[in-house]
Amino acid sequence: MLKKVDSSQLKVGMYIHDLSCDWMTHPFVRNRFLLRSDDEIRKIVQAGIHDVVIDSGKGLDVQDAHTVAQARAETERELVQIAAAPQVVTRVSLGMELARATQVRRQAASLVRTVMADVRLGKAVELDRVQHTVQDITESILRNPGALVGLLRIKSKDDYTFLHSVSVCALLVAFCRSRGIDAATTHQAGLGGLLHDTGKALVPDSVLNKPGPLTPEEFALIKRHPRDGYDILRQSPELGAIPLDIALHHHERRDGSGYPDQLAGDAISELAQMAAIVDVYDALTSDRSYHKGIPAAEALRKIYEWSKFHFNPVFAQDFMRCVGIYPVGTMVMLESGRLAVVVEAHESNLLAPKVNVFFSTKSKTYIKPETVDLSRGFGFGGADKIVGHESAAKWQVDPMRFLSLADA
């Protein structure tokens, strides 16, 4: 049986099923293993991991611990309460913005690739081009954040490094906008998002794209990238303090377990704390050489759980409201047995977005696409609800084809 336990309850002989943290937090080469020494337990605690999932069928048990199902049910109840907050209204429809967002995505990814190549050659970052790209991203987010953010969820293992930076920029701009942060500060945050992983240019590709677990030495090398990025970027005197801070501190955690400076609490700036949430969210939802991406809704649940220790809980909830419990581009199963892709969050209920339905799981065939507003009742274009997120690979469908019905 899978149970969720506090790390203080761990004992030698327990079987770790899930360390309940993002990959860049823990020093172990595996997520699942039998605890064989007190030293392994100390490593878990020192890594800032506060709770883990154990498998009582493969090791020692904790009798009074909640099962994973019980812990998840409690989280679901809390998420439903969060889901009733107002949203930012979009200016144009998703369909109208998709073409422009596609161009912005392509140009921004090309720029990040160039920046990384220049850094490896010892060249300075061309800030004029970066500024222009951040402005393009910001304008797309202002028109309709779901278009660009939805498109950026599509990444291959090969282009992850470049598109991750674009995603963090776009998500951070959207996050700032949803929290009412002024335009000038939002632009600086966007610069920080686009350049936050500049230090990874100094990490060998063999380590950066390694398909298997990293050795302790390789892990230590990866953890140098915030400091390396900061040192590279501060050679551009026209770059402001905010981007430098985000590059240096996006891996810090509120309990002091992050790096490189082990900052804690409010010693981490507000924007660096926001960037940390965005960075982890995009990493969790993306396919990488060593990690299969998880659905956005599941990633948000993890971030919410981790916000007890690693993130500012208020910021974590604000981010969930920003992207939605079911973000644009998420494939969901409806109670009717139809598959749909989320195209727009509801202004006051994150659990009832607008979706484009396109597939019947009962007949296992594509159906005529249509938009359904899940917040509306029977006879008003609604009368259906989400029962969970679904895997496109499982059903062998491409939900992104149906983000815009005009293109379906």
Residue 60 corresponds to which tokens in the numbers above?
A: 């020692």
> What topology does CATH give the domain 94-323?
Hypothetical protein af1432 (1.10.3210)
Rg of the chain, C-alpha, whole Å: 21
Rounded to 10°, the helix 241-249/183-195 angle is 40
d(CA 171, CA 322): 9
Instruction: Give every CB contact of residue 301 below 8 A, 6+ residues apart in sequence.
Output: 72, 75, 79
Confidence (pTM): 0.85
What does the DSSP 8-state code read for residue 255? B
pLDDT at position 29 is 62
> Among 186, 110, 109, 113, which residue's Cα sits nearest to residue 145?
186
Report d(CA 236, CA 127) in Å as an integer.
8
Query: What is the predicted pLDDT for the residue at 40?
Result: 87
CATH 1.10.3210.10 domain residues, the chain: 94-323
User: Rounded to the nearest 5 degrees, what angle is found at the Cα of 304, between the Cα atoms of 298 and 307?
Assistant: 140
How far is it, in rounded angstroms, from Cα 48 to Cα 215? Answer: 20
Look at residue 124 in the predicted model and tell me its pLDDT.
87
268: which DSSP letter?
S
Q: Which two tokens stand for residue 20?
A: 């309940």
Task: Point out which residues pair with 342 in neighbouring strands.
Answer: 355
Per-residue pLDDT of the chain (408 residues; tens, 9 = 90+): 888 888 888 889 999 888 776 655 666 767 788 999 888 888 888 777 888 888 888 988 888 888 877 777 777 777 777 766 555 566 788 888 999 999 999 999 999 999 999 999 999 898 999 999 999 999 999 999 999 998 898 887 778 889 999 999 999 999 999 999 999 999 999 999 999 999 999 999 888 888 777 888 888 999 999 999 999 999 998 999 999 999 999 999 999 999 999 999 999 999 999 999 999 999 999 887 777 788 888 899 889 989 989 999 999 999 998 988 888 889 999 999 999 999 988 777 788 889 999 999 999 999 999 999 998 865 445 578 898 888 888 899 988 889 887 544
Q: Which two tokens stand for residue 216?
A: 């302790």
The two three-digit tokens of residue 395, written as one number: 């059903």
| Residue whose pair of structure tokens reads 């006051």 in the numeric block | 348
116 vs 152: CA distance, rounded Å? 19
DSSP bridge partners of 344: 354
Q: What is the 3-state secondary structure (H, E, C) of 234-289?
A: CCCCCCCHHHHHHHHHCCCCCECCCCCCCCEHHHCCHHHHHHHHHHHHHHHHCCEC
Question: Is 279 in contact with 17 (CB distance < 8 Å)?
Answer: no
